[in-house]
Amino acid sequence: MEALQIILAGSLVAIACGLLGCFLILRKMAMVGDAISHAVLPGIVLAFLFTGSRDSVTMLIGAGAIGILTTFLIEFFHKKGRLQTDASIGVTFTWLFAVGVILISVFAGKVDLDQDCVLYGEIAYVPLDLWITDSGQIMGPRVLYITGTVLIILIAFISLGYKELFLTTFDPAYASAIGISTAVWHYLLMGAVSLTTVASFESVGAILVVALLIAPPATAYLLTENLKKMLLITSLLGVVISAVGYYLAAWFDGSIAGAMASVAGLLFMLAFLLSPTNGLIAKHRRKKAILKPSGV
């Protein structure tokens, strides 16, 4: 049962992160998730300092607020400061992360708070983090309810706004011409990324969240040029990564999150080499066929 709960939690996070990661990769903003996962640290610390509580809802609100601020700052520096997107991301998340570290170091002697407990989770602890009602009834792992709710919200968001997300991703000029605000949909997408990242990294770990935001969509990108198929393949890859990663970790008696991230990287390498359209081997064969003299 514990294995199923861990795999299910990993699958829910992988699907949620992967669906958003598809749009981030197509918009060339793949590292936004990494930026948010680090930049939210001061939000978590401030939420604790103001409320004196380490309640997950409080932490999520504080982290979510800073996550949204992060996306605004990245866009502000990119548009107003004329910085490249990657430079804007680098400046923003390193600054905010440093502020969080300073806050922790200043108040470390007064509160039970450190970088590990507020920034990094561990997916192996999912079966232990239970939702217990006031009457004492055990409802199961709390993470499954949180990530499941986030995934439902994301699916509704993408389903209802698919046309707008599609046009603002592939042809923002045309989208603007027909009255679709590219800025509004950009911030809606970044808000969704903030929500997903913050809701996920406390339980499964920031490193795994970043890996799931990037690796499955990048793998799917090599396998298809159709966005809907890309979203579907990414979701399926997320489930495979979670299941195979868990059993690989159990076999080696190692880190579950590390094993899942490793499986994600391995699947990407296989697609990079063997993809029938964009794979390295297929490209090499096409190049040889073009260079091959006719009649030989």
Q: pLDDT tens digit string along 64-97?
A: 788 788 888 888 887 777 778 778 888 888 888 8
Structure tokens at 87: 């430079």
What band does 294 get if pLDDT is binned at 50, 70 and 90?
A: low
Sign of torsion over alpha carbons 44, 47, 53, 57: negative
| CB distance 144 to 8 below 8 Å | yes
| CB distance 41 to 236 below 8 Å | no
Q: Spell out the domains of the chain, with CATH numbers in brackets.
A: 2-205 (1.10.3470.10)
More confident residue, 143 or 262: 262
The CA-atom distances, in angstroms, between 200 and each of 34, 146, 291 are 13, 8, 49
User: What gap in Å lies between CA 294 and CA 278, rounded to an integer?
Assistant: 25
How many CB atoms within 10 Å of residue 102? 12
> Of 66-70, 94-98, 126-130, 280-284, where does the model show the most confidence?
94-98
Mean pLDDT of 279-291: 77
